Amino acid sequence: MKIGHFDLKGTQTLIIAELSANHGHNLAIAKQTIQAAKKAGANAIKFQTYTADTLTLNCNKEDFIVKGGTLWDNQTLYALYQEAYTPWEWHEELFACAKEEGLLCFSTPFDKSAVDFLERFNPPAYKVASFEVTDYELVRYIASKQRPIIISTGIATLNEIEDVVAICKQEGNHNIILLQCTSSYPAPLESANLLTLPDLSKRFDVIAGFSDHTLGITAPIAAVALGAKVIEKHFILDKNIGGADASFSLDAAEFSTMVQAVRDTEKLLGQPTYAIDEKRIKGRQFARSLYVTKDIKKGEPFTEENIRAIRPGYGLHPKYWHEILGKCAHSDLSFGDRLKEENITSFSCEKKL
């Protein structure tokens, strides 16, 4: 599967910088953030496309006041989203800025009107936010656009994940990426449950990734080691900008460190192999092999006293030791000679493998 030019079946992880509310309602800062994300090593930048009115009601009743020990307790939902949203009139410039920087650029639409609006920019993918997974008709509408669909599973039950995957497939959209996600801000490490990643991939036969809300960069590294092909992390130009998401976002230096750590992890993972490469071949000089430990005359038998398995590794493999004992030397050998097949009467390595 590809998102734009990026092949998710390749060796690299798609690293998405989430702009979210990290622009302080300043277009110049938003554009500088896109440029900084590119310098920090991101492959993609992602926005959120909504207004307070498309998400909730301008209502002060108890149901609409945030509570539960979050970063945003005692605010109304409407006020929170009014503070955090990215103005729709910015999108054209932001998409153009990302294209100029060579970044993939897409967004999370939060209602059908946002999908229709985003279609004009020909995005390479769509994201479904965790809290929108329960809006099956929105998921269906997004899937119907036949673009790769990235779905965060944060608050979703197993049945709901099964449902939205089925909905996408019913729409003929099989380009599905499921992101393991903890919808807590910031998310405690013990709630990340990263072992869900390989299970998501196997259970649903999709590409799995990780939308990270933990502090720091440990979780994305571990996620890549467990098979995540997509990493999404909130990105901020400078935490002094403030805003709804600043406290659990990475700044440019932190994000760059994360990207480098992820790329190093990819190198470490490599491929399943038992082949001996050039460096391992060189290392075998320090393995044990069979050497002559006492001078041996032609015709004299090999014994435990005159041959041993020692370093270096240029002689015969120690596995032949028992087979060689009692056989006779084909020629004179001196202390420190490596033992070779031709030194042994009526012995063949091939027969003993």
Q: Could you please report the per-residue DSSP string of 66-119? A: --SS-TTTTSBHHHHHHHHPPPGGGHHHHHHHHHHHT-EEEEEE-SHHHHHHHH
Instruction: Tell whether 55 is covered by a domain.
Output: no
- 335-351 burial, b for 16+ CB within 10 Å, e for fewer? eebebeeebbeebeeee
Report pLDDT digits (tens) over 313-333: 999 999 999 999 999 999 999
Task: Provide the number of structural domains found in the chain.
Answer: 2
Instruction: Tell whether 71 is covered by a domain.
Output: no
Same domain, 341 and 320: yes
- Across the range 81-107, mean pLDDT stands at 96
Same domain, 151 and 259: yes
Same domain, 292 and 208: no
- Across the range 123-137, mean pLDDT stands at 96
Same domain, 217 and 283: no
Same domain, 160 and 108: yes
**Does the pLDDT value for residue 150 go beyond 80?**
yes
Number of C-beta neighbours around residue 243 at 10 A: 17
Instruction: Tell whether 191 is covered by a domain.
Output: yes
Domain-ending residue, one of 269, 292, 321:
269
Instruction: Tell whether 3 is covered by a domain.
Output: no
Distance CA 95, CA 103 (A): 9
Query: Where residue 264 sits, what CATH number does that domain have?
Result: 3.20.20.70
Query: Where residue 307 sits, what CATH number does that domain have?
Result: 3.90.1210.10
Same domain, 328 and 242: no
Report pLDDT digits (tens) over 173-231: 999 999 999 877 788 899 899 999 999 999 999 999 999 999 999 999 999 999 999 99
Domain-ending residue, one of 269, 287, 305:
269
Same domain, 23 and 40: yes
Q: What does the block give as tokens for 339?
A: 């033992």
Same domain, 248 and 303: no
Burial class of residue 310 (count of CB atoms within 10 Å of its CB; 0-12, 13-18, 19+)? middle
Instruction: Tell whether 2 is covered by a domain.
Output: no
Same domain, 254 and 118: yes
Q: pLDDT > 90: what percent of the chain?
A: 79
User: What domain range includes position 298?
Assistant: 278-352
Instruction: Tell whether 257 is covered by a domain.
Output: yes
Task: Please state the length of the chain.
Answer: 353
Mean pLDDT of the chain: 93
pLDDT at 350: 60
Domain-ending residue, one of 228, 245, 269:
269
Please give the DSSP secondary-structure letter assigned to residue 191. Answer: G
Same domain, 159 and 33: yes
Same domain, 201 and 332: no
Distance CA 324, CA 330 (A): 12
| CA-based nearest residue to 132, from 197, 189, 211 | 211
Same domain, 161 and 293: no
Instruction: Please compute, for residue 55, the number of CA atoms within 13 A of its CA located in the half-sphere on the CB side.
Output: 22
Instruction: Tell whether 283 is covered by a domain.
Output: yes
Residue 68: phi and psi, rounded to 5, are 105, 20
pLDDT at 352: 46
Instruction: Tell whether 67 is covered by a domain.
Output: no
- Across the range 10-14, mean pLDDT stands at 95
Contact, 271 vs 55, CB < 8 A? Answer: no
- Across the range 29-52, mean pLDDT stands at 97
